[in-house]
Structure 1
Amino acid sequence: MSWLVTGGAGYIGAHVVRALASAGLAPVVIDDLSSGHASFVPEGVPFVKGTILDRELVTQTLREHDVEGVIHVAGFKYAGVSVTRPLHTYEQNVEGTRVVLQAMADAGVDKIVFSSSAAVYGTPEVELVTEDLPKRPASPYGESKLIGEWLLRDQAVATAGTDKPLRHTSLRYFNVVGSGDREVYDTSPHNLFPLVFEALIEGRTPRINGDDYDTPDGTNVRDYVHVADIAAAHVVAAERLAAGDPLEPAYNLGSRNGLSVREIMDAMARVTGVDFTPEIAPRRAGDPDRIVATGELAARDLKWENRYSVDEMVRTGWEARRAAD
């Protein structure tokens, strides 16, 4: 038996694949390489190049590799860009999830861990986000992730009386950073860490997108969580679904202590040894002021913990990026 990782050639997915392999759960990857890299897939791991929108291909992959469950990481993950590309976002994240669920039903696969997002909350008016807060997404990306969670819920209800009832959980998180393997690093053209790294490598001054947010230093505050911790939580969720253990419909993978973009910039200069004063650019559409979650439920059920300091997050990400040169 194996576990299929959609988007397993991407930054987060490739870390999930490695964590699955380390836990003795045989991973299989499907990825269209629109943002992933074939080189991120470890040697010996079956890799199917293709889109999750291809129901026949996904169904065939599930059957041929005797897949027990799916960790669904594939998707279009850029909140700001989703404001100008809503139809593409919905195609990849909503239709993609629907097709994966249909393929699972066709192949008799009944377990799924869904990579969701803290963007489902929008801009919460609380200090710490809990799972039961109202969902008010501020971008098409956040909306698409919330709809994905609804799809899982509704399919679970629809299959409850069958011999293959869908068992699922969704993991919500925001800024994933760092690296757990020097062969894998964040190549996104939109995420903060790679943007800063590329600027420093090229001798440019990094930018802060907006310094007029309603936060102590004017820059937005987020949960910055290490990718290795995120991957580990996905694997524990898969193991618990496979064991038949009860899980909540959704978990926040939060740090409890948010970091501002300016604090991240300070750590970048400190760790890389490159002294700089960031430029201030306009806000990005769809970016809320603050999202910080507790992670208490995930700590209880998924062995969730934050094992990395901000300097370690920067160091591991920087070392992996430099190793690629």
Structure 2
Amino acid sequence: MCVPAVPFVCRFAPSPNGRLHLGHAFSALMNAEAARRMGGTFLLRMEDIDATRCRPEYEQGILQDLAWLGVAPDAPPRRQSAHFADYAAALARLDAMGLVYPAFESRSDIARAVIEAEARTGRPAPRDPDGAPLFPFPRAVLTDAERASRRVGGTPFVVRLDMAAALAAAAGDRPLAWPEARDTPEGPRETVAADAAAWGDVVLARKEVPTSYHLSVVVDDAAQGITHVIRGMDLYHATSVHVLLQRLLGLPTPVYHHHRLILDASGHKLSKSNAATSLAALRAGGATPQEIRRRLGLQPTPST
């Protein structure tokens, strides 16, 4: 076992809105085994800000699956639903800096504006790295007073980051970038330049929930003392937004390692929404933890 000169703390952060599948198992194993190799700490986070979909029985299922895989965390899980005050405080800091604003355009408003723009220009609308159209309404379409009036009046809204203002506020003598461990979580690193502008004015909170994935993940990583974020390549480009928020909020930037994704037979990423076979179902069908490792292309544990 290698004992690091500085702490090595990583985390597995599933949403308890369904059962874990092979993709989750791969990420959990990558985190737990990197912590073991480095003599570090493996933590668990329940990303349960979506109260309509997250359920206690799914959280229990996650704990059962991790125990079965042999990767129990080193401390009780942090639940995002218990830390809304932390996210609200971070959002308030950004608001005090003039970097966020309430936006009242609905999804249908956005879709209609994108269609009209594409028809007018004959070109596809700009899209973010995930392929979604960038928010097409400039902040200046309403004054701050008009936005405040609508908010007080109860109009539904989301809170968006003013990307141009945020990038200006984050500018300094250090480029916006993050350290990426390429081959293994604890391996050699390279510096990756962040491109947060590619995401446009991202959503940071909603009227009924004072946070979003982007905001909560950076607050949580700092609160849990995460030194290494080990997660799938599907979140590689989102790191640009996270690094920007870390800079704005004065939070540390961890080392990142974005691992390969586990794909289905058609070449698509495994997901709950596509009804990927759960670990519970595989276990019920007779699969063993060692078989799961083999299916994921991982070496068997030393006890085999």
TM-score normalised by length of structure 1 = 0.25
Q: Highest relative contact order (Cα 8 Å, sep 6+), 1 or 2?
A: 2
Larger Rg: 2
